[in-house]
């Protein structure tokens, strides 16, 4: 009689052994700069916690920029009154970069441009991005 479902450890044993046999590559963590190894061709973080910390920073900064850009585009009168424009957005980006330089030895805090642009659909329908 076969137990169902099979325990996770036995279900993926062959796959885990195949992964473990792959050659390891050297990387440095974008969040903490610690050297680490991975069997992946591209890896950027030494652990899930550092991937989350890095992405949380992006999410917070992105939300700040999003609100400014949307106000600049769709609440033009208030944006002008509050001096929300490209100069403010560029100053904010410079402040983020200054923090990266001071606190994270200048490590990149944004995704590579080719990755960022590849994730944006070329056209949205009337439902926008669906959210």
**DSSP classification of residue 82:** T
In angstroms, what is the minimal distance from the CB of 84 to Zn ion? Answer: 35
43 interacts with Zn ion by CB under 5 A: no
Phi, psi of 110 (to 5 degrees): -130, 160
Q: Which stretch binds Zn ion (CB under 5 A): 14-22, 34-42, 77-85, 112-120?
A: 34-42
Lookup: tokens for 14: 């062959």
Spatial separation of the C-alpha atoms in residues 62 and 55, rounded to whole Å: 10
User: Is 57 a residue that touches Zn ion (CB under 5 A)?
Assistant: no
32 in contact with Zn ion (CB under 5 A): yes
Instruction: Give yes or no for residue 68 binding Zn ion (CB under 5 A).
Output: no
The residue sitting closest to Zn ion, measured at its beta carbon, is: 29
28, 34 contact by CB (below 8 A): yes
């Amino acid at each position: 009689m076969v137990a169902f479902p099979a325990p996770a450890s036995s279900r993926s044993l062959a796959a885990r052994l195949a992964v473990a046999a792959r050659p390891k590559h050297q990387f440095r963590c974008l969040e903490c700069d610690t050297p680490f190894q991975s069997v992946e061709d591209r890896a950027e973080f030494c652990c899930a916690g550092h991937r989350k910390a890095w992405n949380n920073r992006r999410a917070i900064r992105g939300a700040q920029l999003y609100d400014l850009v949307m106000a600049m585009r769709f609440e033009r009168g208030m944006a002008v009154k509050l001096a929300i424009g490209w100069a403010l957005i560029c100053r904010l980006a410079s402040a983020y970069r200054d923090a990266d330089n001071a606190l994270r030895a200048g490590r990149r805090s944004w995704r590579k441009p080719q990755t960022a642009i590849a994730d944006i659909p070329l056209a949205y329908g009337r439902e926008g991005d669906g959210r």
